[in-house]
Chain A
Amino acid sequence: MVEQIVFFIFTILVLGGGIGVITTKNIYYAALFFSASLSGMAGYFVLLNAGFLAAVQIVVYIGAIAILILFAIMLSRRMMTTKEQQTNRQTWLAAIASFLLFVALLGVVMQVTWPLSAEKHADNVLVLLGMSFLGSYVIPFEVVSVLLLVSLIGAIILARDIQTEEGRE
């Protein structure tokens, strides 16, 4: 019974956050709603027996990405104050389209006979995760490091201040 309540709370967090991101005028609030939605998602991971993922979600997603977006918001501070119309004329189109997508996904989920398999769930998730990382999925592991390197180089080239860059060259 407790699980249902907790699930309900997280659902409010996630969906509320999602809708909040879209509707608020002030993008600072949008960032906050975004973090709320992410924390709700972390809760789900806990419920789905993916504890470590919940921790990673919090550390990486909220801890790094949301903060990064906040920094970006701070950077383009002028947008904070103006309250010009945040949305464009496509409101109706977007609403209908997203609803259609939802119906399609709904249809799919309904058709699948559940549950697929009901074995007992493993407890040492983390060890298995480590073994799979360095075992069968070692190529993605290495390519991720290349990806991170590329992103760092790219971000620094693009974002660096023009004055400092001339100075350095």
Chain B
Amino acid sequence: MQNPYNFVGVLILAAILLPVVGLGVAWLVRPHKPNPIKKSTYECGIEPIGETWVQFKVSYYIYALIFVVFDVESVFLFPWAVAYNRLPLYAFLEVVIFIAILFFALIYAWRKGALKWL
């Protein structure tokens, strides 16, 4: 039973149990008297205006895009790091080319102002 994934299983189990148990017990014990005022969305006490969903700025979306690209890049570097000692020297050169190309991507994104958050 010393399968390394047991720990992962236990961890997932704990992750699911904690919120479920917390909310579940609260949901069971609290009194249930709904009235319209209580039901309305709370916005610092003043009357909520417009849609609940606020206008979404595009730059957030672009930020997510860039995250995807560089996330995938990092994943690719993982096996290289692990197998570094077994690989001949020019493997290092290949990875340098890989990173260089994506460095261009970074410069492009940065110059085009995609990284500005606000």
The answer to A–B direct touch (Cβ < 8 A) is yes
Does chain A have a CB within 8 A of B117?
no
**Nearest CB of A to B15, in Å:** 12
List CB contacts (< 8 Å) of B1-38 with chain A: 5, 8-9
Contact A156 B58 (CB under 8 A): no
Pair A74/B53 contact, Cβ less than 8 Å: yes
- Once the chains bind, are A131 and B65 in contact (CB under 8 Å)? no
- Asked if A89 CB lies within 8 Å of chain B CBs, one says no
Given the known inter-chain contacts A75-B58, A149-B104, A152-B66, please indicate yes or no for A134 contacting B80, CB distance below 8 A: yes
Is there an interface contact between A148 and B102, defined as CB atoms closer than 8 Å? yes
- For the complex, give the distance between the alpha carbons of A77 and B60 in Å: 14
Pairwise interchain contact A71-B60, C-beta atoms closer than 8 A? yes
- Asked if B101 contacts A64 (CB within 8 A), the reply is no
Contact of B59 among A81, A141, A151, A161 (CB under 8 A): A161
Q: Would you give the 0/1 interface string for A145-163, flagging 1 where the beta carbon is closer than 8 Å to chain B?
A: 1101101110110011100
Q: B56: which A residues are within 8 A, CB to CB?
A: 71, 74-75, 77
- Chain A neighbourhood of B9, CB < 8 A: 6
With A156-B65, A164-B113: A148-B53 Cβ-Cβ less than 8 Å: no
Are B65 and A134 closer than 8 Å at their CB atoms?
Answer: no
Instruction: Determine whether the beta carbon of A130 is less than 8 Å from that of B83.
Output: yes
Stretch at the interface among A15-23, A52-60, A95-103, A108-116: A52-60
A129-B83 contact, Cβ under 8 Å, with A141-B98, A145-B98, A156-B114: yes
B55-87 interface bits toward A, Cβ cutoff 8 Å, 1 = contact, 0 = none: 010111110111111011101101111111011
In the assembled complex, the CB of B48 is this many whole angstroms from the nearest CB of chain A, namely 15
Given the interface pairs A65-B68, A148-B102, A156-B109, the reply to whether A134 lies near B61 with Cβ below 8 Å is: no
Measured CA separation A153–B102 after assembly (Å): 11
Decide if A160 touches B104 in the complex (CB within 8 Å): no
Q: How far is the CA of A126 from the CA of B101 in the complex (A)?
A: 24
Contact across chains for A75 and B79 when beta carbons are under 8 A apart: no
Inter-chain CA distance A60–B67, complex, in Å, is 10
- Whether, in the assembled complex, A48 has its beta carbon less than 8 Å from a beta carbon of chain B, the answer is no
Chain B residues with a Cβ under 8 A of chain A: 5, 8-9, 51, 53, 56, 58-62, 64-69, 71-73, 75-76, 78-84, 86-87, 91, 94-95, 97-98, 101-102, 104-105, 108-109, 112-114
Q: A59-B71, A67-B67, A160-B62 are in contact. List 10 more A-B contacts (CB 8 A).
A: A126-B79, A127-B86, A130-B84, A134-B80, A145-B73, A145-B97, A149-B102, A149-B104, A155-B65, A159-B62
Selected A-B contacts with CB under 8 Å, 7 pairs: A56-B78, A64-B68, A64-B72, A130-B86, A138-B94, A152-B66, A153-B105
